[in-house]
Amino acid sequence: MNWKYKHSMGAGLLTSHRHKLLCIAALIMILWIGFGLRMFQLGHDSFWNDEAGQALAAIQPTLRQLFAIERAHAMAMPLDYLVSRGFSHIGLSETVMRFPAVIWGTLTLAVYFALVRRATQAEVSLLATFLLGISAWHVHYSQEMRFYAALVFFYALSTYLLFVAIDRYSFSRWAVFTLVSAVGTYSHPYVLLSLTNGFAYLLVTRSVEQQKKRECLVLIVSAIVITTLFLPGYFYFGSHQRFGYKLLQWSPSIAKGIARGIGWMSLPYSPTVAPFGLWQVLIIGFAFAGLASGIIQRNAQLICLLLGLPTQVALIVLGDWIKGYWFASRQLVHLHPILLVFTAVGAVTTSVLIARLVVPERYQGESPTRRVAVFLSFVLAIVVGLLGLSGAQVLRGYYEWPKSTGRDITSELMQIYRPGELILVIPGHEEKIYRLYFQVSGAEPELTEALQLADWSTLEQAVTCTSVTAYLVTPATLTKEQKTKLQRLGFAK
């Protein structure tokens, strides 16, 4: 009897140990896949407008000049600009300057595994990490020299540390959460929104009243400290900014902007990618199943993440309205992984239900029999395969989509330009792309001086008032009227 008892215990320990090793191996593989997807074609496309603005700020001779440019950029805090400045000393290629975003994006995968693992089983955590790893929306911002990848990372890390501090109260844990969150706000102000997850968590958890009061008080104090540390940066870099845009300046509607921001609609990366396809059908369908599962099981951490979503969206839209800025889907990029968590919960829960219905065997307590477990693995593999293939289709379209061709245009201009000629740019704010490439390519200063901002209403006047050759840089897609106007003014493609 003793021998059998020890043998069965040993087998159980062996299975548990093997399961942990498999999970670790799977996580490492997912992280490498995520890193590879974020490195793929990293320097293939030129810097686009906002990237060029950050690069120009990063290469300024002094920090004062860097901050002067940064203060003109919306929602810009100094951390990401300082990181770009550091990497500019290594090299000014697109690959080097975008590499920090790759690191932030890959680290986010690891943080989300740890965050989801606190609330659910390892299989759900691995699937959520895998979905985020292959998400074209997250890959997009993990390949961009802007503060969005850092925002997603610090928001996720802040939320994770907040849950840890609430569940296992100690001064050191609260101090780490406060410090990391305060540093994160200097990459993007929206890191502050992680506090809504903490208050929602305290709202839905069942703890001793006295303990809940203490935790709520500590969270309030921590929020005050984080906000106090953030305010000097906000007052210097952002409080002076006022814009005159309409809230829906470039968004068809609030609903479509939100759907695109949380990853439930795709950007039109290429003709092969529809705004709504199989990937969206699967992640939305499984997300609703995950929402239902979290509510039925009364999973406090999942429910608090759900409650935080509409609150954060409302605060972001309100902030845009107050500042006179337009609502852009990228402002919700940090919420996209949260929805993928619910997708992972729903996918695993659905697979379990299918296994229970198809295989006529009872579960032994909470554990499935071997036959059920094998069939469950088979169903889950099919689900993961469908998600992976549909995600790969969107990724393929993303890689086919050129962010910018500014580098090629600059190279062409440097070959054909003659002193005294004009270089007009529509839209005018994109002239910084060509100014950047002229500067890093060592072009003659007169090339930069030849750049002029233009728009369609003033183009005719700008052309007719000069007798020299004028080159015009326009968007790739033009209306019929715009093409006719260019032909009338004597422009040749």
| Element holding 348 (H helix, E strand) | helix 336-358
Per-residue pLDDT tens over the stretch 445-458 = 899 999 999 999 98
Q: Is 470 helix (H, G, I), strand (E, B) or coil?
A: strand
Q: Which of the four pLDDT bands, split at 50, 70 and 90, describes residue 12?
A: very low
pLDDT at 8 over 60: no
What is the predicted pLDDT for the residue at 268? Answer: 77
Q: Is 256 helix (H, G, I), strand (E, B) or coil?
A: helix
Mean pLDDT of the chain: 90
Per-residue pLDDT tens over the stretch 389-439 = 999 999 999 999 888 999 999 999 999 999 989 999 999 999 999 999 999
Q: Distance (Å, rounded) from C-alpha 200 to C-alpha 81? A: 32
Q: Which of the four pLDDT bands, split at 50, 70 and 90, describes residue 206?
A: low
What is the predicted pLDDT for the residue at 9? Answer: 34
pLDDT at 7 over 80: no
Calculate the dihedral angle through the C-alpha atoms of 310, 313, 319, 324, rounding to the nearest 10 degrees: -130
16 or 67: whose pLDDT is higher? Answer: 67
367 or 100: whose pLDDT is higher? Answer: 100
| Element holding 400 (H helix, E strand) | helix 370-400
Residue 364 in tokens: 């032994």
Q: Give residue limits of the domains in the chain.
A: 2-400, 406-488
| DSSP conformation letters of 254-310 | HHHHHHHHTTSS----STT--SS-HHHHHHHHHHHHHHHHHHHTT-HHHHHHHHHHH
Work out the average pLDDT over 364-383: 74
What is the predicted pLDDT for the residue at 235? Answer: 95
Per-residue pLDDT tens over the stretch 44-96 = 999 999 999 999 999 999 999 999 999 999 889 999 999 999 999 999 999 99
Helices 78-88 and 94-119: crossing angle in degrees, nearest 10, is 130
204 or 177: whose pLDDT is higher? Answer: 177
Q: Which of the four pLDDT bands, split at 50, 70 and 90, describes residue 11?
A: very low
Work out the average pLDDT over 277-293: 95
Q: Distance (Å, rounded) from C-alpha 108 to C-alpha 141? A: 12
pLDDT above 70 coverage of the chain, percent: 93
pLDDT at 365 over 60: no
Q: Is 452 helix (H, G, I), strand (E, B) or coil?
A: strand
What is the predicted pLDDT for the residue at 209? Answer: 67
What is the predicted pLDDT for the residue at 2? Answer: 33
Single-letter amino acid, residue 388: G
Per-residue pLDDT tens over the stretch 335-346 = 999 999 999 999
